[in-house]
Amino acid sequence: MNYFSSNFKLGILGGGQLGKMLLTETRKFDIYTCVLDPSDEAPSKIACNEFTQGDLMDYDTVVNFGKNVDVLTIEIENVNANALETLEKQGVKVFPSSKTLKIIQNKATQKLFYVDNNIPTATFTRFAYLSQIEDAIDNGGLHLPFVWKAAQFGYDGNGVKIVRSKADLKDLQDGECIAETLIPFKNELAVIVSRNVKGEVKTYPVVEMEFHPEANQVEYVICPARIGTKIAHKAQDIALKVSKSFNHVGLLAVEMFQTQDDEILVNEVAPRPHNSGHHTIESSYTSQFEQHLRAILDLPLGRTDNKVAAVMVNLVGAEGHSGDVIYENIEAIMAMDGVTPHIYGKKQTRPFRKMGHVTIVNEDLNEARQVAEDAKNLIKVISQ
């Protein structure tokens, strides 16, 4: 198949920042791209060949979009998987597959998949309704504290809450959910696995994630993770097992907990480019976005080792600011050695909205972490 400067069409469901960064690579290779997104102001709109505005969860919209492309991929999980299944039957190549996506879209189904495939994960209970959780606490079937997760449509800290008392249940959405044992972990880690159609597999180095205590969003992604070689190998082996179990094609970001006694438990996965891999644009021989393209087009996979240590900082909207965005002190952080900002192109900011990220590279990881903190304290995402 000739993908380059040809009639081949790649379709992408979702036009957010992940799509925009993926499109940087398609432009590098001159691959023709079509994007579907509900927003007329989607960040990807400026970077694709064809943009279609439409609902990613609407069956007909997704089928009609997908039947005009040769390969279809996603940059967000919340898409109509039944439409993808129909397109697969019509001969469109869809990566990740509808089968994989249906398992991952529902956190309860995803957790059951880990149990069925002997993949270590925190113990959990599945509930059809929120009211059942209260009953389970009252009758001793569920013990506080625990982590509540909505089964569907959670993202970036939405749909996840630590429940320490019954009062914490009152603002949670009703519907299917899971209650998961709260793990007092040492580290939150992630491994990105890439797998092409032929079955060639590579993993990126393990990264360590530092979280914002209130927003439940990642503040820093540190690569390589500050862990021992034995733990790193264990995390990569488990990530490879998860990838093999899903038999997925493309990228699979596997988020994990390192427990106090150095066990590795899988938290959840994302079958697409991921926040924990943004640093690869500057730090790796092959960025995660190029690797995703290589995988879904069944091209040879690129090198995944680091050229240099890196720390990535998410740029999120400051509290108390909503409206037209201003990036305060961006010139000051660009004056720092090894600092590269990525602005996603969202015109409107609001508290904790992901607006961009900054990557800091340095031969010394500790130095990179310090510069990352300095940059984070300096730059502000505010409104006019």
Annotated binding residue at 149?
A: yes
Distance CA 89, CA 319 (A): 47
Q: Which residues contact 346 (CB under 8 A, 6 or more apart)?
A: 17, 41, 43, 325, 353, 355
Residue burial 144-183, b: 16+ Cβ < 10 Å; e: rest: eebbbbbbbebebeebbbebeeeeeeeeeeeebbbbbeeb
Annotated binding residue at 182?
A: yes
| Ordered DSSP codes for 190-253 | EEEEEE-TT--EEEPPPEEEEE-TTT-SEEEEEES-SS-HHHHHHHHHHHHHHHHHHT--EEEE
Annotated binding residue at 188?
A: yes
Annotated binding residue at 263?
A: no
* C-beta atoms surrounding 245 within 10 Å: 15
Q: Which residues contact 141 (CB under 8 A, 6 or more apart)?
A: 125, 135
Distance CA 108, CA 336 (A): 44
Burial (CB count <10 Å: 0-12, 13-18, 19+), residue 142: middle
Q: Report residue 312 as tokens.
A: 């990535």
Annotated binding residue at 268?
A: yes
Q: Are strands 354-362 and 309-316 parallel, antiparallel or unpaired?
A: antiparallel
Helix (H, G, I), strand (E, B) or coil at 327: strand
Annotated binding residue at 107?
A: yes
Annotated binding residue at 78?
A: no
Distance CA 114, CA 245 (A): 9
Which residues are part of a known binding site?
Answer: 107, 149, 180-183, 188, 267-268
Q: Mark the binding-site residues for ATP, compressed into ranges.
A: 107, 149, 180-183, 188, 267-268
